[in-house]
Structure 1
Amino acid sequence: MSKRSNKQTDNLEQNNIRSKPSLAIFILFVGLLALSVSIAASVSMGVSDISLKTVWKAVFEFNDELLEHRVIHELRLPRALIGALVGAALAVSGALMQGMTRNPIASPGIMGLNAGSAFVLAVAFAFFPGLPYSSLIMWSFFGAALGAGITYGVSSFSKAGLTPIRLALAGTVVGALLSSASTGIAIYFNVAQDLTFWYAGGIVGSTWINVLVLVPWIAIGLVAALLLAKSITVLGLGEDTAIALGQRIKLVKIGGILIVILLAGAAVSAAGPVGFVGLIIPHITRFLVGVDYRWIIPCSAIIGALFLVLADIGSRLVNAPYETPIGVITAIVGVPFFFYLVRRDRRGM
């Protein structure tokens, strides 16, 4: 980009991009603190509660001879970390989708990415049992791309263009179709029992293998999202304005879509199709920090991680000592929020 374009971008940001950097830094600091506390609370809670003092010792003074330490280290801590990673990935992927499409109800769940990943993973479980987790992530990436491609393909048949409501309707239909196909495959090939809880959205049974495989993919996605953040912000001012400022909008959108597929695919492979995180969190973040994606991306990651860890805690409290699928908890919050957004955006019909 030329010096003139850079100067124009800086001036445009000063005049048109509302951001609250001081508040964003405060949210990042408080959010990290709250996330640490929530992870500790998540690790301490279970069929039998464990004191926070014991959790601290299990993390920093691990003793393999103590049963509580082994339970924390082998079961509860990986589960809490997976919840945080998945929440961050889904929130950031939703923020990118909303920023690229300027669609307030865009999210991995509503746009068919989650259902696409779930469908392809059902195929993998049925036809290729015993695949390692690292391979399942690749299948999940392909499924996310498949779901997004079908959704946008169906939406493109509309003469009125890709309005937010039409995209949401297309995503809902595609999601229902792929989910039904997944269920049919699971029942026919006798893998329904293995997939039922996973489909509802759950991180129970997460292990350190899941954490170690997931961390690099999500880390790459988050870093790439931060690098693309300024371009997404400028794109939010309108495609004509972005082109005038020297933005290569096609490359920006292709890069954004690849990042979304990476993050959503990794999240679904770990926790199943957890819905509404990518819808709710970006709106909350924009309300708090403004519309500059250089702040929206990191704040969405922290708030999304916190939201899903708290949802996981809630899943254990709703019907204790039994566990409610985490996808149910996120839906309880997300469905009313979705209806509010649709009602507010009726003009897109």
Structure 2
Amino acid sequence: MAADAKLARPAPLVRGRSAAIAALIAAVAGAVVLSLAVGAQTLSPAEVWHAVVAPEPGAQATAIVRDLRLPRTILGLLVGLALGAAGALMQGHTRNPLADPGLLGISAGASFAVVIGIQLGVDTLTGYVWFAFAGALLASLLVFGIASGRQGGPTPVALALAGMAISALLASFTQSMLLADKASLNVFRFWVVGSLSGRDAGVAVQVTPFLAVGLLLALANAPALNALGLGEDVARALGQRVFAARAVGVAAVVLLTGAATAACGPIGFLGLVVPHAARALTGPDHRWLIPCSALAGAAVLLCADVLGRVVVRPAELQTGIVLAAVGAPFFIALVRRRGVVRL
């Protein structure tokens, strides 16, 4: 009986990971409350709750919460989940602790396609979404195709090199087009900074299916990614199909980052920094690392958005700028702790 009781007890590491998941869920809930309550006009939790559960038509709190902050909070939650999970996947597949989701040419492809859309007369955020997602998808397919070569599948080094080359090429094309058309530059600069402001509920509705599929693929790819971390030869010996595993992982990164970039513009540092912090809580097991990174990404992005509303109140600082200002020194500290960034 005693032996059975010992076997029934969860291992300390599993208990620690479960506690980390619970803490991150609580952090996300707190960030959601802050996002709904804090802004140019701060509302009490009771006002927020009443506006969400029992809205009063014409009331100021109802208009602020339901029309302005709720769509923004939902989009921030979705994008944070996507970029956090994509960052963990990208670092795992490239075995590069400095990799971020944009390494596959996603941000460069999305930016290039948005500029084309602007020059074709597209002038709405909902219109940019489809151009940006198409550009991200095509650029990523090009990178994956180049990295695959004739060896039967892409290697981590080949993915990184192909991604950097295509990103540099598309960025040069984008800059050339913008320098030749000042009107496009004036429109493009508001999208490229990365922000949750000005996005209505329609943007979240458009990208949700892609993000949902991407998250499911990311979670399904976790066991194969653990095997790939032991080396491709060992993974094959364990019965893994390396090419299929890489393809599923890249597809998940493309869906997650492409949809997030299309909705909010390029948001840096989140997919780079968050997986390192999550790895300190969960260890290298991607079955725990990916969901923890997703939750941490959502909490961090919402908190950065709230901070941007407060620091220059009543004006706002874009979320991408806040993440760059806060994320850069935090990432430097992580890099100096070599044990945290070693994969």
Q: TM-score range by the shorter chain?
A: 0.7 to 0.9
Where does residue 334 of structure 1 map in the other structure? 327
Q: 1:55 to 1:185 in 2, by over 3 A?
A: farther
The counterpart of 1:277, out of the listed 256, 270, 274, is 270
Where does residue 310 of structure 2 map in the other structure? 317
User: Identical aligned pairs, as a percentage?
Assistant: 36
Q: 1:152 to 1:60 in 2, by over 3 A?
A: same
TM-score by length of 2: 0.83
SS in 2 for 1:203: coil
Where does residue 206 of structure 1 map in the other structure? 199
User: 1:147, 1:165 → 2: CA distance?
Assistant: 15
Q: 1:333 to 1:61 in 2, by over 3 A?
A: same
Q: 208-217 or 221-230, which moves further after superposition? A: 208-217
Where does residue 298 of structure 2 map in the other structure? 305
Q: What is the CA deviation profile of residues 63-109 of structure 1, one whole-angstrom value per residue up to 9, with x for unaligned ones?
A: 12212201210111111111111111111111111111211111123
Q: 1:165 to 1:252 in 2, by over 3 A?
A: closer
Where does residue 41 of structure 2 map in the other structure? 48
SS in 1 for 2:183: coil
Equivalent residues in 2 for 1:1-349, closer than 5 Å: 20-129=13-122, 133=126, 136-148=128-140, 167=160, 175=167, 178-179=170-171, 181-186=173-178, 188=181, 190-336=183-329
Where does residue 6 of structure 1 map in the other structure? none
SS in 2 for 1:324: coil
User: 2:211, 2:85 → 1: CA distance?
Assistant: 10
TM-score by length of 1: 0.82
Unpaired runs of at least 5, structure 2: 1-10
Q: 1:341 to 1:41 in 2, by over 3 A?
A: closer
Q: Structure 1 counterpart of 2:306, which letter?
A: I
User: 2:229, 2:56 → 1: CA distance?
Assistant: 52
User: 1:329, 1:165 → 2: CA distance?
Assistant: 32
Unpaired runs of at least 5, structure 1: 1-17
User: 1:280, 1:267 → 2: CA distance?
Assistant: 17
Q: Structure 2 counterpart of 1:28, which letter?
A: I
Q: 240-249 or 215-224, which moves further after superposition? A: 215-224
Q: 1:150 to 1:229 in 2, by over 3 A?
A: same
User: 2:229, 2:143 → 1: CA distance?
Assistant: 22
Q: Is the 8 A contact 2:84 2:297 kept in 1?
A: yes
User: 1:140, 1:196 → 2: CA distance?
Assistant: 14
SS in 2 for 1:215: helix
